[in-house]
Structure 1
Amino acid sequence: MYTIRDLAAQGQSIRAIAEQTGIARNTVRTYLRGKPVAAPRPRRQSKLDPFKERIRRWVHDDRLLNCETMLERLRADGYTGSSSILRAFVTPLRPPRRSHRPARRYETTPGEQVQIDWGEFLFERDQHTHKLYGFTAVLGYSRMRFVCFVKRSDVASLIRCFMQAAEYFDGLPRVALADRMKSVLLQMDGSTPIWNAHWADFLAAIGVIPRVCRAYAPQTKGKVERTIRIVKESFWPGATFTDLDDLNRQALAWCDRRNQRVHATTRMKPLDRWVEEDLAARPTGFAWERFALEERKVTSDGFVSFDGVLYGLPASAQLTGRVVQVGLRQQCLSIWFGGQLITQHQVRSVSGVQVLHPEQFTGVPPASTRPPQPTPLGRQVSAPPIPVRRPLTEYDQLCGVTPSDRAALADQQEVAA
């Protein structure tokens, strides 16, 4: 108040005082006229107030910036306000976004293409940071999404995840577009791609054409790139799960909800456009299941290692040191040898454990009771006699030949010659 009067005493106008103090001109005029100013109205409590601290934690700690996901979680906890109040509160909390260059959208016909890629996801367990790989597949026409999480991103895991996506989509597209990762493309020989043999053989067997995006141009598979970003911004922040199975169940439920929402680009639900995809039928039975098999060597104590877990085999199989085939389907690990199913195990998500087979050591004696192995033996033999060199005169003496006889013999040989 004294500032306003001081400025007025200096000859400043009401407009100039308002601009310098940031106070409305009518308020300045009221002060100068000495009229009482109405007390400010008390701030009305917002329906969002009880949830603001939680929202700040989502943004700062979990890096959750998607207001639709926030609204879903707040509704479940009793929030009855509008989304506009939430967006107005979240907007100042967002970090500045990088600018992007415009790109022309590439559309495909029904059943033409599926885009696939990996994403890395970090989580905390026992106060340590661990990493999982999220496989994402998107049908180009309908925008149907599929997401699952695994421990490895090698070619065997890629094939297994692609099979799960094909089962979720209930069919196969004509083309599979991927990034230039080593599990898909080894190198380029000029304009000729050198494919990873396992990936190329798998797609050739199921009738799908492999493709890779242009180098240093990830926007050529922008649909899957965008989906990975949505997963990281919407599903992953603050996600809690007990094990990998629980996480994949949550991811599948999230895909089901997303595929029933209206897509921002197509203005249709992906599930409604999916019926127009006309995907090719996938193989069935062992002709399909065989692609999920990987080779493993049985250890000396009858275990097979898979994703950091040791799974036991029955002792009657007698496969110690042999190479077997291991397949993971529907969280069930199957072990095959010579085309015969040996045993099955429920998959364990925690690494570093052993899963014994009930008959793993049936009839196998303890190591302490086993008869000792025969000790290798060598043989020493007598050395061959060393020949002795003697002068010829000794032999002449033994045979009674005198030097004169030797000279006469030499003369006769010379005459004969």
Structure 2
Amino acid sequence: MLRSGIVISLHTMRAEGKSIREIARETGHSRNTIRRYLRANGLPERKPRKTRVSKLDPFKPFLQERIQEGIYNCEVLYQLLREKGYNGGRTILKDYVKDFRPPKQIPAVLRYETQPGEYAQVDWGLCVYVDKDGNVRKVPVFVMVLGYSRATYIEFTKRCDIHSFLRCLIHAFEYFGGIPKVMLTDQMKTVVLGMGDDRKPRWHSLFADFAAAIGLVPKVCRVRRPETKGKVERGVRYVKNNFIPGRQFIDLQDLNRQALQWCDQINQRIHGTTGERPCDRLRQETLSPIPSADRWEKYLHEPRQVSRDGFVSYDGVRYGVPWVYSGREVTIREVNGWVEIWADGARIAHHEKVYKSRGIVFCPNQYAGLTTSQGYAYPRPQAKQMPAQQVEVRPLDVYEQVAEVGA
């Protein structure tokens, strides 16, 4: 069948007085075709083709029964038909089943809205940046979103271990001004060591102690069901797509300073789901009060081993301590940009945090007295040489006189 534009050109040439022969010579179409289109009122109707008998026709009732059972896999249907004696091909089978196949759809889920102060969702993400040497690097980011208010807190770290996780949790609670009742997470290796025989999570012992100390109930979502914690999943994507692109920073401290400013900004914008500002709804969150510092201070300490030359490694930087603690186990914590090192309940070193990896920070008078004590912090068992005793020398007459007096 000719296209409508060609049919219009045929009528135009005919109206100009051209003969059928001239039109056929210019267009290349046969004269009978030109006459048929010129005589028709509009486009001529296509004659219906005769229906061909298909090898699939005898098996269509059987196919309809299988389709009603929800079987649309043509390979499965093909094998079933072969058992029934079908000797046709797969193409006609696929063309037939295609008209009955339901459209693809994502399984529907129930939307769950939490009450004020009830839920918080947390997760880790990995963001990509280019360092000053042009190398592509990855930096972990901690994200927490409160379920009711949608208030968001993010923090970048160097590690995704349990100590970094607890430190970020504490900072998030301090930012929000309270603690939610339940914290929902996936089965992250940071806090979930595995699932027991009863299908209950085996929590990291340090995290379990922390949650019990502050009254937090941890829960895990189902495996491969990220929509269960969709708020924080979207929060991680939002960080990757809206915060990181084009961001310039000097070090991790500068990046977290900008991240905190960004959190303040997004928590003051109108949220697309609630239609309200998260900072306004945050005031309605009935969060539990933050406990005293001594209740979670111990969770900010990380155990470290002091090297023989008197250094402790933390986030890729070596911090010095007095040499007498060499070889001992100490604890280290980060407070407001400072690194504190503790032993026996006392702070033995205090350094401003360095964010450049492989740095070395010495402690004042770190090696004082090392040479005198030969590197030992405590006295070693040893003998002591005494001076020779002075004996009085007397003549023999003295002893004879003493003997006579005694007689």
TM-score class normalised by the smaller sequence = 0.5 to 0.7
Following superposition, which runs of at least 4 residues in structure 1 exceed 6 angstroms of deviation?
Answer: 6-9
**Partner residue in 1 for 2:362:** 356
Q: Residues 305 and 327 of structure 2 are in contact (CA less than 8 Å); yes or no, is this contact kept in structure 1?
A: yes
Report how far residue 198 of structure 1 moved: 1.4
**Structure 1 residues 370 and 179, CA gap change in structure 2 (3 angstroms):** closer
Of residues 160, 163, 177, the one that matches 2:167 is 160
Residue in 2 that maps onto 1:338? 344
Choose 145-154 or 342-351, whichever is displaced more: 342-351
Please, which moves more after superposition, 282-291 or 292-301? 282-291
Q: Is 1:328 aligned to 2:334, yes or no?
A: yes
Q: Given the alignment of the two structures, is residue 199 of structure 1 paired with residue 207 of structure 2, yes or no?
A: yes
Letter in 2 for 1:150: T
Per-residue deviation, 1:103: 3.6
State the TM-score, normalizing by the size of structure 2.
0.65
- 2: CA distance between counterparts of 1:232 and 1:180? 21
Deviations 1:283-312 (A, max 9, x none): 223322221110000001110000110001
Whole-angstrom CA distance in 2 between matches of 1:366 and 1:153: 43
Q: 1:209 aligns with which of 213, 217, 221?
A: 217
Residue ranges of structure 2 left out of the alignment (5+ in a row): 1-5, 14-104, 381-407
Gaps of 5+ in 1: 1-5, 14-98, 375-417
Q: Provide the aligned length of Structure 1 versus Structure 2.
A: 281
Question: What secondary structure, in the 3-state scheme, does the structure 2 residue paired with 1:165 have?
Answer: helix
Q: Which residue does the alignment assign to 2:141?
A: 134
| 1:281 matched residue in structure 2 | 289
Please give the alpha-carbon distance, in whole angstroms, between the structure 1 residues aligned to 2:12 and 2:317: 81
Structure 1 residues 203-258: Cα deviation after superposition (integer angstroms, max 9, x where no partner): 11111011111111011001100111111111111111000000001000000000
Secondary structure in 2 aligned to 1:166? helix
Secondary structure of residue in 2 paired with 1:194: strand
The Cα of 1:12 is off from its aligned counterpart by: 5.0
- Percent identity between matched residues is 44
Please report the TM-score for the alignment, with normalisation by the length of structure 1: 0.63
Q: Could you give the per-residue CA deviations for residues 360-398 of structure 1, whole angstroms, max 9, x where no partner exists?
A: 12233399x989xx9xxxxxxxxxxxxxxxxxxxxxxxx
Distance in 1 (alpha carbons) for counterparts of 2:222 and 2:352: 41
1:233 corresponds to 2:245: no
Q: Secondary structure at the match of 1:343?
A: strand
CA deviation string 1:146-198 (max 9, x = no partner): 00100100111111111110110111111111110111211112322211111
**Letter of the 1:348 counterpart:** V
In 2, the alpha carbon distance for the partners of 1:207 and 1:333 equals 28
After TM superposition, list the pairs within 5 Å mapping 1:53-202 onto structure 2.
102-125=108-131, 126-189=133-196, 190-202=198-210
Q: CA deviation at 1:104?
A: 3.0
Does the Cα contact within 8 Å between 1:313 and 1:342 map onto a contact in 2?
A: yes
Aligned counterparts of 1:103 and 1:366: Cα–Cα separation in 2: 73
Deviation of 1:11 (Å): 4.8
8 Å CA contact 1:213–1:220 kept in 2: the answer is yes
Root mean square deviation of aligned Cα? 2.6
Offset from partner CA, 1:46-72 (integer Å, 9 cap, x none): xxxxxxxxxxxxxxxxxxxxxxxxxxx
